[in-house]
A = this chain, B = another copy of it.
Amino acid sequence: MPVRHADRPATKPQFSAAELRELHEKGTEILKHLESRGLYKPLGSYRAQPEDGKVTYGEGYPITAFEKFLGYWKKDANLAFSPSISMVTDFSVVRCFCRYVREPGRDKVFLDGESNERYDKRARKALDNFRSITGITGSFEFTIERVKRYDKAKGLGESAAVAAATARALIANVFGEDAAHDDIFVSRFARFASGSGTRSAAGGMSIWIAFPEIEESQSYACRLDVDTSNFHFAVFPDFHNIQTMDAHGIASSSPFYPTWVINKYDRILKLIKSGPKIEDLMRNAQEDMFFLRSLLTSGGVIIDTERSIKLINAVKSFQQSGGNIFMTADTGPSIVVMSTDEGELKRFIATQSAKPLYGKIPQSVNYSPDPKAAHTASAFLESLR
């Protein structure tokens, strides 16, 4: 359980060969179009020069997705089945220090001061990919600190922030500061830690290029040229008690997954070709929020709470009476409300008893750490010897 369609394999999405070819062609078309507009660029070339004991810094922001990502074409390299679009937000920030150790087999992650097996496992997989690409044989130790503006929430894109921060610290460590400033370069490696981390590393409003039969080295995110000067948003943080949820697996095994993926390519292609506008992105994000919930529900998983359902219905009522706002959400009950009209957004928020968190799209991460934090992290990592 959940009960599955008898004739459908439980894990692999069912696309015909013709459909896979179509997705490859449309994915390539999206890539080429972004390339011709100077947004998608070839990967930079940097020399790996790891130094035993060197400690470096990286930051990452969480993401809120407009075109959501669910399901892998190739799980081992974290290659998604479709492109996806998101923005970074300042709802939290992740600060990471990375120390290189020449000795193999010593990868280790400390999350908010404590060792964490789940993160260790995730890091090992990502680092194994990194090592096989770069030829490096040593280990990496990370300290990760999450600074949140909210108390408890699901669906605020934190894991993207962790992936981006660790990838940036890692790239700074192995390839140096120039590489760490190259968002696209960092983005490719953030992908190994978390799909959505790929977009977080690119910053701003970005698209992650992925499709069936893409070369691994081509799959990274680049910023989109979207005017967000009149864009305003806020989130109502919420949480649920679903302990473990393999959202990617559940979505991929839905009979509705292929339709969702195929439609997503068409929507993204249309958006990119017409020059992406924030109004279209918001509309798509609201639609895709319900599609994502629909895919999970088809597998028996309902991620909403009484609070989020009430909020969703309130937004719909507000829209039905002409209110110019949109909403979106990821795989949790936290709901983001947004508008190109700040007054409208505030007018809606005033109707709610819960108080949301206003957000901004951060322009850039900090590339240098706070000196005191750097000293503490170095001392901590040194104490592990």
* B-binding residues in A (CB < 8 A): 1-7, 254-256, 258-260, 263, 266-267, 270, 283, 286-287, 290-291, 293-295, 297-300, 302, 304-306, 309, 312, 316, 319-320
B306, A312: Cβ atoms under 8 Å?
Answer: no
Q: Which residues from chain B contact A298 at a C-beta distance below 8 Å?
A: 256, 290-291, 293-294
Measured CA separation A299–B254 after assembly (Å): 17
Residues of B within 8 A of A309 (CB): 302, 304-305
Of B256, B270, B297, B299, the contact of A259 (CB 8 Å cutoff): B256
> What's the number of copies of this chain in the assembled complex?
2
Residues of B within 8 A of A293 (CB): 297-298, 302
Point out the residues of chain B lying under 8 angstroms from A312, CB to CB.
Answer: 300, 302
A2 to B327, CA, bound (A): 11
Residue of B nearest to A326 (CB): B3
| Contact between B260 and A316, CB atoms less than 8 A apart | no
> Which residues of the other chain, B, contact A263 by a CB distance below 8 angstroms?
5, 255
List chain B residues, Cβ under 8 A from A305.
Answer: 306, 309
Choose one: B294, B302, B304; the contact of A256 (CB below 8 Å).
B294
Q: Is the CB of A300 within 8 A of B290?
A: yes
Contact across chains for A287 and B5 when beta carbons are under 8 A apart? yes
Q: Which residues of B contact A316 (CB under 8 A)?
A: 1-2, 300
Determine how close the nearest CB of chain B comes to the CB of A288; give it in whole angstroms. 9
Chain B residues positioned under 8 Å from A294 (CB to CB): 254, 256, 294-295, 297-298
Given contacts A1-B286, A259-B259, 6 further A-B contacts (CB under 8 A): A2-B316, A256-B259, A258-B259, A300-B312, A304-B309, A305-B306
Q: Of B7, B254, B256, B283, which one neighbours A3 at CB under 8 angstroms?
A: B283
Q: Nearest B residue to A258 by beta-carbon distance?
A: B259
* 19 residue pairs bridging A and B, Cβ less than 8 Å apart: A1-B286, A5-B263, A5-B267, A5-B287, A254-B294, A255-B259, A255-B260, A255-B291, A256-B259, A256-B260, A258-B259, A290-B299, A290-B300, A293-B302, A294-B295, A294-B297, A300-B316, A302-B312, A305-B309
| Chain B residue at smallest Cβ distance from A298 | B294
